[in-house]
Amino acid sequence: MGASNSKLDRVILELPDDERYFGLENFGNTCYANSVLQTLYFCRPFRDRVLRYAAENPPGYGNENLLTCLADLFLQTSSQKKKTGFLSPRRLINRIKSENALFSNFMHQDAHEFLNYLLNDVSEILAREQKAAASAPTTPKSILTFGRGKDGRSPSLQELAAASTAITSREEDMFDLSLEIEPNCSVTSCLKKFSATEVLDGADKFFCDQCNSLQEAQKFMRMRHLPQVLCLHLKRFKYNEQLGRLSKLSHRVVFPFELKVVNTTPDCPDADTSYDLFGVVVHMGAQPNHGHYVALVKSCGQWVCFDDDQVIAVTEAQVQSTFGQPYDGGLVGSSNGVGVDHGYILLYQRNSPASEAPLPMDELP
């Protein structure tokens, strides 16, 4: 992505002086981690919470864990004197590899699996620390801003309701919404399908504990609370029974720069809220076990591509090129790389009306 380096470097240098744009060193196929870390760093509510944690837990305070390593990396980035360059996330990567065998090799990894592992581990660290503190409240308050549930730390709360007469319902806490994709579709249509009502009849009848019998029912999922940051995962990797392995679905999926999720939140009082796209993790390659990840983030009105240690400005049209190419379906890809760059993880931030004053830090979800 990009035009001449000199032109693009000049675009970044002309951005406001209070922001930093630093690439991350790759330690042998760690692009999956670098791309996720960049999108999280440019998620300002998340970054602010991590930096606040860094200020409250300076080096030497307590034992090292994944969160202290993450906080140290964010602090290094934000405190750089230069506007652009690259850093080494070695301490964080080594910590991740030592704690999780899945990432302790040089194989191609899934950026979505890494994102969920990182957020889950950070949330669990905070819960343990607050539980251990004598003066801490009984309900942990997370730095995570991907929504809020009854326990104060849910990323994205959904309600699963089965049966037309509300026989039963279940609430689940989720970090993101994983969306099934189809050829030549859009995120809006994927969300509509996600929340569609499914009829359970015939061999799929629902067993009702109250009636102690099988009943025809309707099953559907809804978002009960709109998160401050909405993370959408496009399910591009699917098991192919004929091949006996995962295959990449290179479908064209159009994602808007401004999104409303009305069709998944019919009971939300603020269902009409809009979201602005600020981060895209892009998978480059025709197969799930090969390829490369880069991050596209919007900062100060400008889209920037982080390709490991390389940082370049890109246009909105270049972001749109990761929708994928129109085709009839199936797997696509070519040796010259045409049509194999696809948006994989999308991050949207809630767009508050101008009349609303920003929440104080302590009141952010």
Q: Kindly report the CATH number assigned to the domain that includes residue 33.
A: 3.90.70.10
Closest CA to 72 of 43, 106, 37: 37
CA distance 154 to 231: 13
CB count in 10 Å sphere of residue 1: 20
**What is the 3-state composition of the chain as percent helix, strand, coil, each rounded to the nearest 5?**
30, 30, 45
Q: Is 155 within 8 Å of 147 (Cβ atoms)?
A: yes
Closest CA to 177 of 163, 162, 161, 195: 195
Looking at residue 302, its amino acid is Q
Q: Is 253 within 8 Å of 234 (Cβ atoms)?
A: yes
Closest CA to 13 of 2, 5, 24, 3: 5
Half-sphere exposure of 133 (CA within 13 A, CB side): 14
Note the pLDDT of residue 265: 65
Q: Strand 198-200 vs strand 274-284: parallel, antiparallel, or unpaired?
A: unpaired
Number of compact structural domains in the chain: 1
CA distance 75 to 51: 6
CA distance 105 to 196: 40
Residues of the chain where predicted confidence (pLDDT) is lower than 70: 1-8, 60-62, 134-166, 168, 263, 265-269, 327-339, 352-365
Beta strands in 155-205 (DSSP E): 156-162, 168-174, 177-179, 185-186, 198-200
Q: Is 148 within 8 Å of 365 (Cβ atoms)?
A: yes
Note the pLDDT of residue 134: 54
Closest CA to 57 of 175, 143, 151: 143
Q: Is 215 within 8 Å of 228 (Cβ atoms)?
A: no
CA distance 117 to 226: 22
Q: Which domain holds residue 38?
A: 5-133+140-363
CA distance 237 to 215: 34
Name 222's bridge partners: 159
Note the pLDDT of residue 119: 94
31 is catalytic: yes
Q: pTM here?
A: 0.82
CA distance 228 to 215: 38
Note the pLDDT of residue 353: 54
| DSSP line for 219-253 | EEEEESS--SEEEEEE--EEEETTTTEEEE----E
Tokens of 267: 């009971």
Looking at residue 163, its amino acid is A
CA distance 318 to 63: 43
Note the pLDDT of residue 263: 66
Closest CA to 67 of 154, 130, 150: 130
Question: Could you say which of 112, 251, 283, 292 is catalytic?
Answer: 292
Tokens of 318: 């270049």
Residue 337's SS3 state is coil
Using the structure block, give the residue that is written with the tokens 């929440």.
359
Note the pLDDT of residue 355: 37
Segment holding 348, helix H or strand E:
strand 341-351
